[in-house]
Amino acid sequence: MAEKHLIALDLDGTLLRDDKTISIKTKKVIQKARDEGHIVMIATGRPFRSSEMYYKEMNLDTPIVNFNGAFIHNPKDKNWGVYHTPLEVNVAKEIVEACSSFQFHNIIAEVMDDVYFHFQDKKLLEIFKFGDPNVTTGDLRNFLNSSPTSMLIHTDEENINSIRDHLSSIHAEVIDHRSWAAPWHVIEIVKAGLNKAVGLKKASDYFNIPPERIIAFGDEDNDLEMLEYAGLGIAMENGIDQVKTVANEITLTNEEDGVAVYLNELLNLKV
């Protein structure tokens, strides 16, 4: 048997196919890896409410990283610890105020499973409706009273860089931000110092698995720190160039069972 590894899986564009399902082959490979003693966990930018179905589908019992590291817990072990690191509410309102100088479509604040929309937005609501969150619509400067786990600014592609430059110049010490891939031009904001690698380190410490025995898969810029932290950072062929640059290796696309193919060969699973 191969030495025990910790396997960290991003969801969208990595574990999930484009239709947001996990292939039968991938599920079989992951189950075989677990049967042989390897530990599998999810690390995603999604909130728990919209990743819980995949956690249950794979019958996991490990910690899960949500909101890109702003929320980390083990749904099957209440004693593992809950690590929720939100933005300060006053910082969130300052960001809303600053955005009034820029062109944007909407600002969304998520306080765990409470979602606040600055403007009414049917299209974005479709994305956020997973898990049946509590939704409030109205000026965030008035309606947001709790510290948000994350914030999202939806704008046009040509405004992304100017807004991000402004955020960096004003709030660099208290927030980190990154942008989503097309077709959604969204800036995602969390408290400074948070990323998926923060959650991965908590899990590796808990399971006593050193970074050199961590395998992490990802495709977007919110996976960069995790891939760099892992001994084996694996980029998906469909991933962005920056991810491929920092990765140790590149596997097939999410449509071609890239995660399964790589693990099957590396761990000699014979699935």
Divide the 271 residues of the chain into consecutive groups of 10 and give the mean pLDDT of each group: 88 96 97 97 95 97 97 96 95 91 93 92 79 90 95 92 89 85 84 96 96 97 96 97 97 98 95 84
Out of 10, 12, 176, 257, which one is annotated catalytic? 10
Burial of 125 (0-12, 13-18, 19+ CB in 10 A): middle
pLDDT for res 68: 95
pLDDT for res 2: 66
Instruction: Give the chain's length.
Output: 271
| Whether 176 is catalytic | no
pLDDT for res 100: 87
pLDDT for res 185: 87
pLDDT for res 137: 93
